[in-house]
Structure formats: structure tokens, C-alpha cells
Amino acid sequence: MRSVGHFIGGRTVAGTSGREADVFRPATGEVQARVALASADEVRAAIANAAEAQPAWGATNPQRRARVMMRFVDLLNDHMDELAAMLSSEHGKTVPDAKGDVQRGLEVAEFAIGIPHLLKGEYTEGAGPGIDVYSMRQPLGVVAGITPFNFPAMIPMWKFCPAIACGNAYVLKPSERDPSVPVRLAELMLEAGAPPGILNVVQGDKEAVDVLLTDPRVAAVGFVGSSDIASYVYSTAAAHGKRAQCFGGAKNHMIVMPDADMEMAANALVGAGYGSAGERCMAISVAVPVGETAADALMERLVPKVEALRIGPSDDPDADFGPLVTRAAVDKVRRYVDVGVEEGAELVVDGRDFRLQGYEDGFYLGACLFDRVRPDMTIYKEEIFGPVLSVVRAADYDEAVRLPSTHEYGNGVAIFTRDGDTARDFTARVDTGMVGVNVPIPVPIAYHTFGGWKRSGFGDLNQHGPDSVRFFTKTKTVTSRWPGGVKEGADFAMPVMR
């Protein structure tokens, strides 16, 4: 049985805690590896290693750090097939989807190459008599990330690439469900020229997380996962004097106006709702057609597309989506579908009994489509995180704006329309952090910033883009004057610039 350990101080190390967890192959249901779960002492050893390595790395000029990122990008491209195969094997998403996972992380590494430009401070010459004022951005020191199973390449790179480019050392605690890709990324970062200890990976569970949240040597923590845990991570980190950047759940709506291209909208819903088996924080899980005529037209196109979806193992080139990550995830999603039926929603496509011949023990669930879902229903209020799409029929445009705006989650939303005035009004009024106009999954490109509102995001700075530089650095402001021309004697008045 293959073992997955930690990556500390530039080398792979076996776990010593005596605790392990199963790593499944979702396509077949078999256990393919065992992953070590770190003890508190093992996490502290990784933090100590990072703390020892960071000062020299922080003192390395930004351009040299950027060159490491350049080489890292080249290595990611060279190892794309390897990383995607490893990722899909442990997660279950299709290989093309896995390549997209790696690619979106790679794009943040490309952004990090240009971080020296964003590390420049400000300068004011002659702010007062012989006085100059300038600022510097300096690394925080040791920072940490706790990342989820659904994007085991992308989200770690969203976090550690800007952090390392800014001069920090990073301790990553990835999901124990698909732990191999993060270790491989750390190996590639070392090969790219990052010194040992600058990127450490510790596998683990809550025991490891709590050390990262409380150890005084860790200056900042990033998290992506459920909202309840995001709230816990944020509050615990803040209570221990750390910066925190935490992202939680989502219930992303897609508004379909009567003037929308219904074929385009239906295709967008199928891809955004069922891609990666719905295990995306940016998945569209609620479709909101405006008016009964638009709703009927949308459903007429949507139902046959959902019924025709192809489900298969992650290495099947013809599969639209693969299995869920664990059997527990399948059971949880199936229970949500049961509740939706019990509460009166119309289950138009029922995938609960899907079985894949030859893969009966795999973690598969067929696509499910609900119509006439009400906002008071559980399947509307809670994040399902599976291949389930709910259609909520809005009577008018104002109701369509109100639905995502009043939901407790505020991650992403999309509107499909041909009318520019409607789109402009919607983007201004809707109360969510990311908006797509005829774009179903509005994930910003790497040099903009990613983050949701309300219970989808905790903290005031988002992931990647300029916000990442602000999060991973601290600003030092210097007021400077040289002795020439300074009057003699003490001055007891508050200093002012005249």
C-alpha cells in the first residue's frame, strides 16, 4: 500500500504520529494509499523549519524570487499530464477538468512572476523641510494555508505562490482526501530553486489545523472550505493575533432573463452545474428563469441535456463528469435530494440510483434536476456540493435580483441576457462578490482578485491579484531627515509638515 507523508525541509518525510487516513480511488471505491496525519509536534517542526529558512529568503531580492516562479511555471507545464493524472485519481474529476485545476493555479504562479512591481513602495520627496517620506512592503515571515479537497492544485497555488514571491515561507495543510498533488508541487518548487523550508506540506486533520492557528510563529492563515469551519478558522486565528483570509460555502445563482439565448443558457447551466460532479465552490446550483414563459423554454432545453450527461471514471475521455470524492459525499448529496422531494420540489431528473457497470463500488451519483424549488426549501438554503441543480422560477426581475442578494451566501452569481442596461443594473445591485454576465462561472483571472461576500468570505482581503500582495506583506513607512539645517534644542510641539 502506497504511503503519503509530509514534505518538510526540502524532503519527503514519513509520519511519526501513528495516525493515518485512507486515500480512495473514487472511480472504483478502493483504498489506493494511506496518508499520515501529523501530530502537533510534527506541525511545530515544519513551522520551525520554515521560520529558519524565511529570513534569508525574505532578504533575497524580489527579482531572484520571481525567477524561481518562472522556473516553477515551466516545470508545471512540463509535468501537466503527470499532475492531472495524479489529481484525477485521488479526487475523481475527469482528466481534462484536472488539467484545468492545475492550469488555474499555474496562472497565479505566472502572476507571481510580476510581483516585484507590486512590492514597490511609495515615495514623497520634500514632504516637509528636508524631510522625505517613503514606504516599504516587507514579508510577514511564516504563513500557512489550509486548503480543500475539491481543488488540490489550484487553491494551494493561489495561496503559496504569491506568499512565497513576497518573501514568506509557507506551511501548507492540504486536504487528507487527495494529498499527493500538494507534495508533488512542493517537490517542483524545490526543483525550481526555492530553498528547503520555504514550502512545507504537512498532512493532517484538526490537530494540525489548530497548531497552525495558535502557534505564535505563524503570522497569517488562509483557508478555503465550509462556512462553519471558515468562521472557526477566522475567529481562532484572529484571537491569536494572526491575519486570516477565509472562504466558505456558496449557493451560486444564474439569472436567465426572457431575452437570453436559451440554448446558450442551457448549455452554460449544464457545464457550470454538473462539471466536476458539482464539487466546486463556484458551481451554479440555482437557476433563476424570470417569468413562466422563460422558465418553460429553459426547461425544455435543459432536461434532455441533463438526461444525456455521460458519467464515467476520471480517465474516461468521453465522461462529462466523474465520481464524487467519497462514499460519505454520495450519501450526503443523496439525502439532500430525498429532502427536496419530501419538501415538495419537483424532481425532473433523478440520478440517485445511477450505477456504472463495472464500477459498482465507485462513488457515483447521477445528475439530479429540480424544478419549482422555493426559497424556504432546504435544497435552496444549504450548499449541496454535488450534481444537483435547482430551478427557482422568479416572477419578475426584481425578485431575481433579490434571491441571490438575500441569500446567506454571497460567492458568485451570473446573469444571461442580451440587454446591456439590465446587465449593468444587475452587476451594480446584486449583493455578491463575483458577477458573470453571460459567463456562468465568473472566476476572475489571476491578476484580479477572487472572493465572496457574507458567509462565503471572512476577512477583508481576497485571494490572488493585488489583494494577495497586501495580505502577505506588511507596510513600513519611513519619515527621514538628515542633520543639515536642523535647529538646535528640543522641540516639544507635535511635529507638523510646514
**Residues taking part in catalysis:** 281
Instruction: Please identify which residue in the block is written with the cell numbers 458573470.
Output: 436
CA distance 68 to 421: 46
Q: Beta-carbon neighbour count of residue 85 at 10 Å? A: 14
- Bridge-based pairing of strands 6-8 and 11-13 is antiparallel
Instruction: Please identify which residue in the block is written with the cell numbers 508541487.
Output: 185
Cell of residue 12, nine digits: 519527503
CA distance 76 to 428: 38
- The sheet that has 243-247: what strands, in order across it? 11-13, 6-8, 199-201, 169-173, 142-146, 218-224, 243-247, 457-458
Instruction: Please identify which residue in the block is written with the cell numbers 536642523.
Output: 486
CA distance 34 to 5: 9
Cell of residue 280, nine digits: 466546486
Amino acid present at 238: A
